[in-house]
Every structure is written in C-alpha cells, then in structure tokens.
C-alpha cells in the first residue's frame, strides 16, 4: 500500500485501522479472483476416427472439442505434416475459445488450413452433430 493522502491528518490509531481494512480488502479481492478465474485447459482426446482432437475445459465444464481431419494433416498445402498437432490445435483454439458460448465439436478440414494458418473463421467451421441417445 502506498501513502494515503486522505489519512495524513488522522490519528495513528485511525491510520492503523484503515491500513488493516485495506489489507483485508486486498486479500478478499485476490481470493475472489482465484475462485472465479479458472484456467482454461486444453487436452488431447481419444481418437475415434480419422482425426486428431483436443478438448478445451474450464473447471469441470467442457467448452469446445476441436478436431483436425486426417486429410488436412496429410495435405501438403496445409503444412501440418511436420507439426505437433496437439499443440497446433491448442494454439489455434485458444485464439477464439473466449468467444464460444455453448459446447460444440468443430472440425477443421483441408479446405480450412493453408501453411499452418486457419483461413476459415471458427464460426464457419464444420460442426459435428451429436447423435441423440
């Protein structure tokens, strides 16, 4: 805490009380931030087809599953052949994860990537429809 000009003509006891309140308020703010700002995690998922995928989560909530097709990985102009796909998917998804409102499964195809860059807006990527049970 820096010098508080509003306390310069107050008694030593009043200054001590205000300093203690300032410390307590700072601790409460830090605890609130820790509780409400959970880190978004990106983890590789199990392969269920001809694709590589990562799952973005925040706490216990799934935010987004981002997949890249096997043809996009092997297609020369995409530039993903020598790339670490999990890291690339995490980096690519991180650029728009805060804009995702509901859980979706998005698929990046060979038409969406050129030279390791996503050229299609994430909103226009192919969406995987979930089969109803």
The total number of structural domains in the chain stands at 2
**Each residue's pLDDT tens digit, 41-94:** 999 998 888 999 999 998 889 999 999 999 999 988 888 887 789 999 999 999
Domain check: are 29 and 47 in the same one? no
Domain check: are 54 and 89 in the same one? yes
- Report pLDDT for 1: 55
Of 66, 46, 54, 64, nearest to 109 (Cα)? 66
Is residue 132 domain-resident?
no
Domain check: are 29 and 84 in the same one? no
- Report pLDDT for 9: 86
**Each residue's pLDDT tens digit, 9-45:** 889 898 899 889 999 999 888 887 776 667 889 999 9
Task: For the chain, give percent helix, strand, coil, nearest 5.
Answer: 40, 25, 35
CB atoms within 10 A of CB 100: 16
State which residues form the domain around 86: 40-127
Alpha carbon of residue 82 to chain centroid:
25
Which pTM does this prediction carry?
A: 0.68
């Amino acid at each position: 805490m820096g010098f508080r000009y509003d306390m310069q003509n107050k008694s030593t006891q009043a200054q001590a009380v205000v300093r203690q309140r300032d410390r307590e308020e700072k601790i409460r703010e830090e605890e609130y931030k820790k509780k409400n700002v959970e880190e978004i995690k990106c983890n590789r998922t199990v392969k269920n087809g001809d694709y590589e995928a990562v799952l973005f989560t925040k706490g216990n909530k799934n935010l987004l599953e981002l997949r890249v097709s096997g043809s996009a990985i092997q297609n020369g102009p995409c530039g993903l052949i020598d790339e670490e796909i999990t890291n690339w998917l995490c980096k690519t998804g991180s650029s728009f994860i805060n804009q995702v409102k509901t859980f979706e499964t998005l698929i990046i195809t060979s038409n969406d990537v050129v030279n390791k860059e996503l050229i299609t807006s994430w909103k226009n990527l192919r969406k995987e429809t979930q089969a109803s049970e």
